[in-house]
Structures are given as C-alpha cells and as structure tokens.
Amino acid sequence: MSYYIDNSYVSLNKHNEELCGDRVETAYYDGTQTLVLADGMGSGVRANILSSLTSKIICTMMSSGMSVEDCVETIAATLPMRKDVMVAYSTFTILQITQDGDAYMVQFDNPLSILLRNGKAVEYPVEVNVIGDKTLYETRMKVELGDTFVMFSDGVSHAGIGISMSFGWQNEHICSFLESKCSTTDSPHTIATKLVEAAKELYLGVMGDDTTVAVMKVRQRSELSIMLGPPSNPEDDIRVIEDFLSRPGKKIVSGGTTSKIVSRYLGQKVETCLDYLDPKIPPAGKMKGVDLVTEGVITLGRVMELSEQMMDGSIPVDWKDNKDAATTVTKMMFEDATDINIFVGRAMNPAHQNPQLPINFSIKMKIVEVLSSNLEKSGKRVNVQYF
C-alpha cells in the first residue's frame, strides 16, 4: 500500500520574545517525508539561529539519504559555541516516513515523541546510539494507516512548572490528553493546535518557554479540486471544466459566473442552501455533479483569513463547529484533503470593475497565493493552474 504522510506544526513564542527558539523543517523527496523539530538552547535570537541551522542542515542531509552520524558531525562542526560554558547545540527530533510505510525516528534531548494508533498512545521500539558525546534514541518500524506521531519541544513538558503544576506536564498526562481530546479523524494541524493550546492554559496564558508541537500522520490520499473564475478565453470553458470534473475526489465551484458555466455544462441548477445563514458570508449552494458551490472572493477571503489564523496559532480550537460556507471550504482543504488542485480563471468579472467595490482581480490572485502557501506549510501538495 502507498501511504500519504500528512504533517503540520504549531509554535508559540516565549513571552516577550519576537523570535521562536524552536524550528520545524520539512522536505519531501523520492517518496519520503522528512520532518525535523529543533529546539535551540535558551531563547530569543540565539536560540532561533541554533534551531534554524540545526533543522535546515539535518533536514537537507537526511532527505538526501545521508546518515544521522554525518548529520551530528556536521552540526557539531557548524554551530557557534557559547564561550562561557563551551556548549552550543540544539536538541532535535527527526522523523522520516516513506510512502511504503517505513519509519525512522531519531530523538536527541527532546521529550520523547508519542505514537497514537487507533486513538490510543502505544509503545514503539527504541534503540540507544551514542555518537560522540550525544545519546540518540533511534526507532525503526513499519507504520499502519492512521498512525500519528506527536513530537514536541520541552515547552510542552515544562508547561505549568511552578505555576499550575508542580513538576510540569508529565508524559503520561500528555498521552491521556491526546487520547481524550483528539479524534482519529483530526488533521495533524488540529492535533498540534489542541496540544499547544492546552500547554498555553497550563502557563496561564503567559508562555514560559518556546512551545512547538509537530505532527505526522499516515493517511490515504484524498484529492480536492476547486475552480474559481472562468477562463480568460471563453472558448476554453468546456476544456477547463472537463479537466476540473475529471479529477478524482471532491470538487468545489466558487464564484457566481463560474457556477453558471459549470451549471450550463452539467445541465443542473444551483440550489442555495438556507439551512445555515451567516450575515458576513454568502450562503453555500449545491449542484448535482459537484460537492459544494460558494460565492467567490468574499467567501475565499474568509478562507484565507482562517488559514492565516491557523499559521499563527490564533484560530479558535472549536473553529470547525461553524457551518458557514467559508468554514466548510477551509475544513475540506486543511482537514480532509491531502492534495489540492486549484483552477484559477483569468477572466475579468465586469461586476468587479466598479471602483466603489473593494473587489478586483488582484485580490483574487492574492487569495490564491496566500492559500497555496499556507496549504503547503500545512503539508498539502498543491497544484495551481491558470487559464
């Protein structure tokens, strides 16, 4: 079986620090997904530099097939030394999973990662490997569909020390939290957000340390295609629509003009859904042959805003409870899908040329740009086509 490896992460900076001392780097190469979570010593600028160097070097080397021994030697020779204590390093966790289901994990001085299988925390094989003065914990195993690896910096395990808890957040308690609060259908981003938000509560809202959670989940591929805007040349309408409709997976049509040409091609009417109304977001519609029909720029603008909140960790944990069109599209993109095809029509909408309306072609292009970037940051594979 060929697996899709979904991944995402959420970071919160230490209180009063502009830069995060944790860093996550990912790479996909030759059927293998690599993720590195690094935690630089201390906080602020120096920690950010240490973790950035560590994560980038290791991710680049490991994804190219080099050994962890080579990575550690390179890190030791590269990182700047702190002269007063002659120590300069970043802790790190490395996880690689191939599309065939082979997993390799290396953990150095970070809290031990948690493996969720069927919603429960389970043990996994660990071997000790000493390289120089560093003790590494290595894991080699076969994964199963649905396996979810939760990795985190010590900002999670130290949460609440001296504030709301005497000894911080113990591993067994973190496991219990994940088992009780996370569903097997949750995306990596949702799991990471829930754990980070829980740590923030233990800090009573004032982060005592940089806190990062990275999650990798073994999934089956789930494709989603969205079409927004008709082609610049009307003669291309049928060709583009046929390409759009031929893609596997769910399909979203966005925009009034776009829905009209798809409706005409399918010979189906668009019916407005009035069971859930939001004064800020136009209602969704339904049409036989596609999964969802929405208004265009206003709805997608809200989707973009939600995606930005995901990236900076400010989105509410219960955001998925809303039923408006924008939330539905966001959930389909960021929670349900693994591969997203975005069909962008270049035709200028006459209704958007009114100078009194804050809607124009450049806004649509900006929405596509931001959405594509945030989807890729969330571990999705994105294909954007312009017509």
pLDDT above 70 for 355: no
Q: Which two tokens stand for residue 50?
A: 């240490």
- Does residue 356 register a pLDDT over 60? no
Does the pLDDT of residue 368 top 80, yes or no?
A: yes
Dihedral over alpha carbons 109, 111, 112, 118 (to 10 degrees):
-160
Residues in the chain: 387
Token match 């596509």: residue? Answer: 368
Q: Burial letters for 214-235: b for 16+ Cβ neighbours within 10 Å, e otherwise? A: bbbbbbeebbbbbbbbbbeeee
pLDDT confidence band for 315 (50 / 70 / 90):
confident
Structure confidence at residue 352 (pLDDT): 52
Lowest mean pLDDT among 41-45, 178-182, 360-364: 360-364
Q: Indicate whether 1 pLDDT > 80.
A: no
Going from the N-terminus, what domains does the chain have, and what CATH number goes with each?
Answer: 4-219 (3.60.40.10), 223-386 (no CATH)
Check residue 88 and give its pLDDT.
Answer: 55
Residue 120 has pLDDT above 90, yes or no: yes
200 or 134: which leads in pLDDT: 200
Looking at residue 248, its pLDDT comes to 95
pLDDT score at 130: 93
Percent of residues, the chain, with pLDDT higher than 90: 76
Q: Give the residue with greater pLDDT, 140 vs 88.
A: 140
Nearest to 110 by CA among 137, 70, 131, 79: 137
- Whether the pLDDT of residue 156 is over 90: the answer is yes
Taken in order 350, 354, 358, 362, is the CA torsion positive or negative?
positive
Check residue 358 and give its pLDDT: 45
Using DSSP bridges, classify how beta strands 90-98 and 32-40 pair: parallel, antiparallel or unpaired.
Answer: antiparallel
> How far does CA 267 lie from the centroid of its chain?
37
| Biggest CA-to-CA distance, the chain | 75
Which tokens hold the place of 315?
A: 């989105």
Q: Is the pLDDT of residue 309 over 80?
A: yes
Residue 102 has pLDDT above 70, yes or no: yes
End-to-end Cα distance, the chain: 35
Q: What is the mean pLDDT of residues 124-147?
A: 95
Q: Identify the pLDDT of residue 209.
A: 95
Q: What are phi and psi of 12, to 5 degrees?
A: -125, 135
Query: What's residue 349's pLDDT?
Result: 61
Backbone angles phi, psi at 197, to 5 degrees: -65, -35
**Mean pLDDT over each residue of the chain, to the nearest integer:** 91
212-238: per-residue pLDDT in tens?
999 999 999 999 999 999 999 999 999
The DSSP annotation for 287-327 comes to -TTSSEEE-SHHHHHHHHHHHHHHHHT-S-TTGGG--SHHH
Give yes or no for residue 210 having a pLDDT over 80: yes
**CB-side neighbour CA atoms (13 Å) of 163:** 17
Question: Is 50 exceeded by the pLDDT of residue 357?
Answer: no
Alpha-helical (H) ranges within the chain are 44-63, 68-78, 154-157, 171-181, 188-202, 237-246, 256-266, 297-312, 325-331, 361-377
Which whole number is the average pLDDT over 289-314? Answer: 92
pLDDT of residue 134: 86
Residues 327 and 320: beta-carbon distance below 8 Å: yes
Structure tokens at 255: 């925009």
Predicted pLDDT at 168: 83
38-41 long-range contacts (CB < 8 A, ≥24 apart) are 38/90, 38/91, 38/92, 39/90, 39/91, 39/92, 39/110, 39/153, 39/154, 39/155, 39/210, 39/212, 40/90, 41/82, 41/87, 41/88, 41/89, 41/90
Q: Please count the other Cβ atoms lying within 10 Å of the Cβ belonging to residue 44.
A: 17
| pLDDT tens by residue, 21-33 | 999 999 988 899 9
Lowest mean pLDDT among 63-67, 162-166, 168-172: 162-166
User: What's the pLDDT at 277?
Assistant: 78
Q: Which pLDDT belongs to residue 278?
A: 82
Provide the phi-psi class of 365: left if phi over 0, else alpha when psi is between -120 and 50, else beta: alpha
Q: Which two tokens stand for residue 227?
A: 């079409």
pLDDT higher than 70, residue 74 = yes
List the structure tokens of 171: 């591993």
